Amino acid sequence: MAHPRANLFFLLSCLLCYSLNAFAGKSYYDILQLSKGASEEQIKRAYRKLALKYHPDKNPNNQEANKRFAEINNAYEILSDTEKRSIYDRYGEEGLKQHAAGGGGRGGGMGMDFEDIFSSFFGGGGGPVEEEERIVKGDDVVVELDVMLEDLYMGGSLKVWREKNVLKPAPGKRRCNCRNEVYHRQIGPGMFQQMTEQVCEQCPNVKYEREGYFITVDIEKGMQDGQDVLFYEDGEPIIDGEPGDLKFRIRTAPHYLFRREGNDLHTTITITLVQALVGFEKTIEHLDGRLVDISTKGMTNPKQVRKFKGEGMPLHMSTKKGDLYVTFEVLFPTSLSEEQKTNIKAIFG
């Protein structure tokens, strides 16, 4: 029997590692887009949807999809196993490793082939992915979300008020899980007629109620217009089916200084005629508050465009950045005195 001090040390080690793991990256629940209290059926549905979406057969030569597929399978192996899930919830990944080292389980989700997990869930061998079985789903809800350019440059989050229909218990019973059953009826010697009959069960009745709550939408650096932030099964519900999904579709809000085109930024700066001729010293404030030097000692032509490499938008899920393009407008004087005209003629004549 293990000494009480040894058990206490194991517990404290697991708790410490779990605390560190919480800051290390996405949890298994995040990978499957689930809350920590998700049911077994929710875990299965989330895995089915994501595994089909990111399977290598549907994403040839896509390393990012292959990585996601591996993460999804690893997360499912842990969360679908009651014992492993309990250990993970209490002690994190390090607890799983110590549990595996002590002879428990199959190695904390590290020893099973991903295709084996997929095949055991969907059935069949390693052939092409079959299309997902038909499941009745509620409507997806797509919300156009105007996001400030600063948040798309640095990352951020927005709180959005959400109202939707929610299924609640109601008095009485209802017909549910209806299906067609085929049977044969004898209509004469050696003669049978095939008949189809709808068979239903009796389920508790339900009703729709409207509820509202705040949702925090995380904006990742470099997200593009048209990209969706997905909230799985948070769309419209449907009786005897799965709720649809809620999608916040990114749309860049207008900015007073910069205009975004893909991964590049564009802006227009006005300078005087003197500055255009003799040069100038000038900075502009970037989206993160930095000052970008756009000075020049040379001449600047009207409508001239200068490129500042690496000063554009960050690329989504990358360390690279686009470029900044500055167009210069030259402000000409509205009138000249005779003396000014004479001096200009003397200079340029």
Q: What is the pLDDT of residues 12-38, one digit of tens each?
A: 454 444 444 443 457 898 898 887 777
Helix (H) or strand (E) holding 322: none
Start-end of CATH 1.10.287.110 domains in the chain: 8-122
Give me 286's structure tokens.
Answer: 């970037």
**Quick one: average pLDDT of 89-96?**
82
Q: Write the class of the CATH domain 259-348.
A: mainly beta
Calculate mean pLDDT across residues 103-124: 53
Query: Is the confidence at residue 54, as pLDDT, over 60?
Result: yes
Question: How would you classify the pairing of strands 324-331 and 264-272?
Answer: parallel
131 — pLDDT class (breaks 50, 70, 90):
very low
CATH for the 8-122 domain, from 3.40.50.1980, 1.10.287.110, 3.40.140.10, 2.40.360.20:
1.10.287.110
pLDDT at position 134: 61
Helix (H, G, I), strand (E, B) or coil at 148: coil
Q: Is the pLDDT of residue 104 over 70?
A: no
Q: Is 199 left (phi over 0), alpha (psi -120 to 50) or beta?
A: beta
Report the candidate in 272, 260, 262 with the shortest Cα–Cα distance to residue 329. 272
141-252 belongs to CATH 2.60.260.20: yes
**Which regions of the chain carry the CATH code 2.60.260.20?**
141-252, 259-348
Rounded to 5 degrees, what angle do the CA atoms 129, 130, 132 make? 115
The rounded distance, in Å, linking the Cα atoms of 239 and 202 is 13
155-209 pLDDT, tens digit per residue, is: 999 999 999 999 999 999 998 878 888 888 877 787 888 888 888 889 899 999 9
* Closest among 275, 263, 259, 254 to 326, alpha carbons compared: 259
11 pLDDT band, cuts 50/70/90, is very low
Higher pLDDT, 252 or 21: 252
- Contact status, residue 204 vs residue 169, Cβ threshold 8 Å: yes
Phi/psi for 117 (5° steps) reads -65, -45
pLDDT, average across residues 256-284: 97
Of the candidates 268, 328, 324, which has an alpha carbon nearest to the alpha carbon of residue 298?
328
- What token pair was written down for 191? 């003669």
**pLDDT given at position 16:** 45
Q: To the nearest whole number, what is the mean pLDDT of the chain?
A: 84
E-strand spans in 139-155? Answer: 141-147
| Top-confidence range, 101-115, 126-140, 240-254, 296-310 | 296-310
Distance between CA atoms of residues 290 and 284, nearest Å: 8
